[in-house]
Chains A and B, each alone.
Chain A
Amino acid sequence: MNPTTLFGLCGAALVGIGLYGLLTDPRLLRKIIAFNLVGSGVFLLFGVVARRGADAGLGGDPVPQALVITGIVVAFSATALAVALLLRLHDAGGGATLDDGADSAGKDRSPS
């Protein structure tokens, strides 16, 4: 197994672990961390694509490397926004999980 395949498999495993966490854990902070795991897996795949697409003598194709930087910035901002919302939710007395609202269909809500 060459390093590129190994990194690819690691990326796939990270995406899988992250998705599992996102779907099963009701705690919001865990969900946010799980999202970051998925993101890391995808970014690792960017690296794999860059390595595979490289011309002879080059370390990597620069396009995916440029894209991954944008991707990391976006994931960072998303995490910051999610954590800020979570803190506000906690301060507003709404707890830190989503487990009570999963079946919000048809539930009575105060007018807004």
Chain B
Amino acid sequence: MPPTEALAAGASAGGGWLVASIAWPIIALLLVIAGGERLAARVGVLALPIGLAIAAAVALQVGGSGELVYNVGGWAPPLGIALRADGLSAAMLLVTAIVAGGSGIYALADFGPPRAGSSGRTSLAFWASLLGAWAALNLAFLGNDLFNLYVALEMLTFAAVPLVCLDGRAETLKAALRYLLYALVGSVLYLLGAVLLYGAYGTLDLGLLATVAQPGPATWAAAALMTAGLLAKTALFPLHLWLPPAHAGAPPAASAVLSALVVKGSFFIVLRLWFEALPGLGSAAAMQLIGLLGAGAILYGSALALRQTRLKLLVAYSTVAQIGYLFLVFPLAFDAASGRLAAGAALMGGLLQAVSHALAKAAMFMSAGLIAVTLGHDRIADLGGLARARPTSLLAFALAGVSLVGLPPSGGFAAKWLLLSAAVATGQWWWAVVIVLGGLLTGAYLVLVLMRALDEPTAPAAPLQPVAAWREAVPLVLALLAVFMGLAGVLP
């Protein structure tokens, strides 16, 4: 179809950038595999800035025109499949490129070009999985078709599972298998919901579904199945059991990608499903139930994080808690008068929470990894003397904590402030209580870590391992981005 006709079917001029943002990581992934063990890291690290530039180009165009649409093959829905970027997608594309880039640079020390005598197998596996996960996330953020999103979900799973078990130890393999099984059940339930919707309405396009979907048994069953499946993949309490062993056992660069980005992919699809495809379907009770699970995640995850004896597990349980905030969006965005989900302050707060948590959690996992390298262990009780031994990493950890707790001017503060004001504006004070309580608990477990780290050394210190300064810079930059992200809203 000539371009003019494709444009007439609702596509926008810069839509090619959407294709590039999905295709580039896949091209890079193929190049990494073609380059083999020896070249994997070099090819992979060169792919990062190009991906970032593409994400920035999409963000600029979305900032200018509000929305980018590309009809694949020039066929408009319902016959064809559309890719669409709005403000939410652009923000997620950008943060994904930043965190993937940071993890890639940080990983050069662990998964760099193989030295003489060492095998490059894990290096190849890491770079292939990182780029695969990136492509899948971009597809999840841009897909506008329920089946396309299913493919994105599965690609994401297949790329994320190897990241969990890169070192091949029995316990990480077990964590990876548990994760894989949760994820497979989640996506098969999602697929079942999608086929029910297709059977009822004959379309899988989000925009078209919004115009034809009616409340009824088939739609309710489909929405319930898809939501349950996606919650299992997002590790929302009480389906979070797979997350802590999987995220805490992975190498730090992989943990950062898993905790910061991978769980956001399925969360984003939940948002798309409820806000774009079925905005009028939610009932107050259903939205309160999702919010209740989120509140459970915040309180339970924070309480368990307080009890952890190892730093990486503490950070992983903190992810369980922070995921809970994302799901408070649903009760807070529900407009009881019209019975519809409305995009407003609550949705904006959820997006900010997703972005700021991605930056802060990546920084936290990376600095925890450097702390573990320095000391040779990550027992919280024996962190004494760390402030003197590794001040930069500890600073990055603390700054990331500032955003997780929600202190101004961090992105976490802006997110929680928007959620709190939505709770007050809609008169749902109980969610405000949960948000404040969660912030206090987060502060408690982070202060415990910092107190230990500022102590005098407890045991005769083992020889400290050196860490390159550029590795310490990566989490620091990510943490600073998270802290000063709140200011972005103040600027014009």
Give residues in A with beta carbon < 8 Å to B. Answer: 15, 19, 22, 28, 31-32, 35, 38-39, 42, 45-46, 48-49, 52-53, 63-64, 67, 70-71, 74-75, 77-78, 81-82, 85-86, 88-89, 92-94, 98, 101-102, 104-106, 108-112
Q: Is the CB of A64 within 8 A of B198?
A: yes
> B154's closest neighbor in chain A, by CB?
A74
Q: Is the CB of A82 within 8 A of B181?
A: yes
Q: Is the CB of B151 within 8 A of A74?
A: yes
- C-alpha spacing A70/B194, complex, angstroms: 14
With A35-B184, A85-B165, A112-B249 known as contacts, the answer to whether A105 contacts B377 (CB < 8 A) is no
- A to B CB contacts below 8 Å, 22 in the list: A15-B192, A19-B185, A38-B188, A42-B192, A42-B195, A48-B199, A53-B202, A67-B195, A70-B151, A74-B151, A78-B157, A82-B177, A85-B165, A85-B176, A88-B173, A92-B168, A106-B308, A108-B310, A109-B245, A109-B313, A111-B376, A111-B379
Q: Is the CB of A106 within 8 A of B304?
A: yes
Q: Is the CB of B180 within 8 A of A78?
A: yes
Is B378 on the interface with A (CB-CB < 8 A)? yes
- C-alpha spacing A15/B176, complex, angstroms: 24
- C-alpha spacing A77/B2, complex, angstroms: 37
> B200's closest neighbor in chain A, by CB?
A49
State how many angstroms separate the Cβ of B383 from the closest Cβ of chain A: 12
Q: Is the CB of A28 within 8 A of B191?
A: no
Is B119 on the interface with A (CB-CB < 8 A)? no
- C-alpha spacing A109/B317, complex, angstroms: 14
Q: Of B154, B158, B174, which contacts A89 at CB under 8 A?
A: B174
Q: Of B173, B191, B196, B250, which contacts A112 at CB under 8 A?
A: B250
Is B220 on the interface with A (CB-CB < 8 A)? no
State how many angstroms separate the Cβ of B214 from the closest Cβ of chain A: 17
- C-alpha spacing A39/B178, complex, angstroms: 18
Q: Is the CB of B161 within 8 A of A81?
A: yes
- The residues in B between 143 and 196 inclusive whose CB is less than 8 angstroms from any CB of A are 147, 150-151, 154, 157-158, 161, 165, 167-178, 180-181, 184-185, 188, 191-192, 195-196
Q: Of B154, B170, B175, which contacts A93 at CB under 8 A?
A: B170
B101 proximity list for chain A (CB < 8 A): none
B313 proximity list for chain A (CB < 8 A): 106, 109
> B193's closest neighbor in chain A, by CB?
A42
- C-alpha spacing A109/B466, complex, angstroms: 24
Q: Is the CB of B177 within 8 A of A111?
A: no
Looking at chain A's contact residues, the main secondary structure is helix
State how many angstroms separate the Cβ of B136 from the closest Cβ of chain A: 12
Q: Of B171, B172, B241, B377, which contacts A111 at CB under 8 A?
A: B377
Q: Is the CB of A111 within 8 A of B312?
A: yes
With A64-B198, A88-B168 known as contacts, the answer to whether A101 contacts B184 (CB < 8 A) is no
Q: Is the CB of A89 within 8 A of B147?
A: no
Is B428 on the interface with A (CB-CB < 8 A)? no
Q: Is the CB of B170 within 8 A of A42?
A: no
Q: Is the CB of B158 within 8 A of A85?
A: no
Q: Is the CB of B188 within 8 A of A111?
A: no
- C-alpha spacing A53/B327, complex, angstroms: 35
Q: Is the CB of A104 within 8 A of B244?
A: yes
A46 proximity list for chain B (CB < 8 A): 195
> B310's closest neighbor in chain A, by CB?
A109
- C-alpha spacing A46/B150, complex, angstroms: 15
Q: Given contacts A63-B198, A77-B158, list 6 more A-B pairs with CB under 8 A.
A: A46-B195, A49-B199, A88-B165, A88-B168, A105-B304, A109-B245
Is B372 on the interface with A (CB-CB < 8 A)? yes
- C-alpha spacing A88/B199, complex, angstroms: 40
A-B pairs with lowest CB-CB distance, top 9: A94-B170, A49-B199, A92-B170, A89-B173, A104-B245, A111-B378, A74-B154, A42-B192, A111-B377
State how many angstroms separate the Cβ of B465 from the closest Cβ of chain A: 12
B192 proximity list for chain A (CB < 8 A): 15, 42, 45
B157 proximity list for chain A (CB < 8 A): 78
- C-alpha spacing A66/B457, complex, angstroms: 63
With A42-B191, A105-B244 known as contacts, the answer to whether A78 contacts B158 (CB < 8 A) is yes
Q: Is the CB of A92 within 8 A of B169?
A: yes
Q: Of A49, A88, A93, which contacts B198 at CB under 8 A?
A: A49
State how many angstroms separate the Cβ of B374 from the closest Cβ of chain A: 12
A85 proximity list for chain B (CB < 8 A): 161, 165, 173, 176-177, 180
Per-residue A-contact encoding for B293-309, CB less than 8 Å = 1, 0 else = 00000000000100111
Q: Is the CB of A78 within 8 A of B169?
A: no
Q: Is the CB of B185 within 8 A of A35?
A: yes
With A49-B198, A53-B199, A81-B161 known as contacts, the answer to whether A71 contacts B191 (CB < 8 A) is yes
With A22-B185, A42-B195, A64-B195 known as contacts, the answer to whether A101 contacts B178 (CB < 8 A) is yes
B56 proximity list for chain A (CB < 8 A): none
B161 proximity list for chain A (CB < 8 A): 81, 85
Is B44 on the interface with A (CB-CB < 8 A)? no
Q: Of A22, A45, A93, A102, which contacts B241 at CB under 8 A?
A: A102
B171 proximity list for chain A (CB < 8 A): 94, 101, 109-110
Q: Is the CB of B241 within 8 A of A104?
A: yes
B439 proximity list for chain A (CB < 8 A): none
- C-alpha spacing A15/B309, complex, angstroms: 40
- C-alpha spacing A28/B461, complex, angstroms: 43
> B157's closest neighbor in chain A, by CB?
A78
State how many angstroms separate the Cβ of B308 from the closest Cβ of chain A: 7
Per-residue A-contact encoding for B275-317, CB less than 8 Å = 1, 0 else = 0000000000000000000000000000010011110110000
